[in-house]
Chains A and B, each alone.
Chain A
Amino acid sequence: MNAIATTQAISPETDPVDPAVPKTRKQGGGLGRYILVRFVLIFPTVFILVTMVFFLMRITGDPITASLGGKLPPAQLAQRIHEAGYDRPVIVQYLEYLGHIATGNFGNTITDGRPVTTILTTYGGATLELAFYALIVALIVGIPLGMLAAYFRDKYPDAILRIFAILWYATPVFFVGLLLKLVFSVWLDILPVAGRAGTRTELELQSLPHPTGIYLIDAISSGDPDAISDVLLHAVLPALALGFLTAGVFLRLVRTNVIGTLGTDYVDAARSRGVSEFRLVRKHAFKPALIPVITVIGLQVASLLGGAVLTETTFEWRGLGYELTQYLGARDFVAVQGIVALLAVIVAVTNFIVDIIAALIDPRVRY
């Protein structure tokens, strides 16, 4: 959701026009060293987040009372708390928790006793699939429109596009979802209302020998054209809802950066040689403007995951976000803590990958 904030925060740092304000000192150091440093930096990030989430969740009391308090007699409740070890000093629990996480154990949910890691493997694919579709929608819609807006800078197509971008930004992703549902599923009745696939397809995909949990891949491997189209049709509205959110960010970012690049000397040089304005935007100004887009894709992963939680709830898309909402409703804080910690790890790792890609493209980024 911090879409605009990220745009603002990142564009000056990586702005191709203004290399005078690098985020970090330029030093020798090869790519290998940079990758190593960035990799090592993942650990404090994850550590801080996990620690924060752990202690915040413990301030309110133990998770068993939260989910089962009032449903069980006090004696039984105390026994459950004792069995789970929640009556020990918090610092002991914390160290144990860190030990478990280090070995990939994120705990079991209280309400239905499933390991959190199982939830990840079962529903992670769904969230990944949704985020991937949304990213594609965002890139396809956002980048060309951003270039267009830069090309028509301050003329009416630019104004219209920018107002659209602001409108997209101003519309919460769940409201976009509800509107799309209302128009395309209820009034026009051309797309399914909710879910990841029809019941028949879902059963078919689950009966596959090795389902990946990513329905599109499963559907393709099943070879059933009906299943493929069913899965794709179900994905259209959620992907649009989540993708538009990010598309607006890309539009603004590309516009700002292309306009910035268009004012540089080398573009002026090209212009003086008679290169057409359209070609200038498409060839000369576009590529340098893409570097911040790549960085922002990384930052958008965090907001895409946040948006996915809301989109999944709107469309009953059974992914991590949908599960998270269900467990929130059940006050199952072990599950919540586990899923949140996992998402933190995913965000940290994605940021690492994006930083590496950015460094490969633009050597100035390295430190």
Chain B
Amino acid sequence: MNGLKLELMRLDRLPAGETARVVKIHGDGDSAVRLHALGILPGSRIHRRQTAPLGDPVAYDVNGQKISLRRGEASLIEVEPG
């Protein structure tokens, strides 16, 4: 049997209403630094809430706050289910 490669999911793919755990935030640019400053760190739990009418941005619950992230920022965050 071939080794099944576990596909690492990014936050922008998290289905509505689901919770996930942050693995890491990719990149070292401005977005990454700011996301970290908000307490979105490896191990944080993040829960997807509402989506804006045109599909972007999306509201998430994380670290005791509700924040809106555009697809660009959300795609930097690698998550795993749970």
A binds B: no
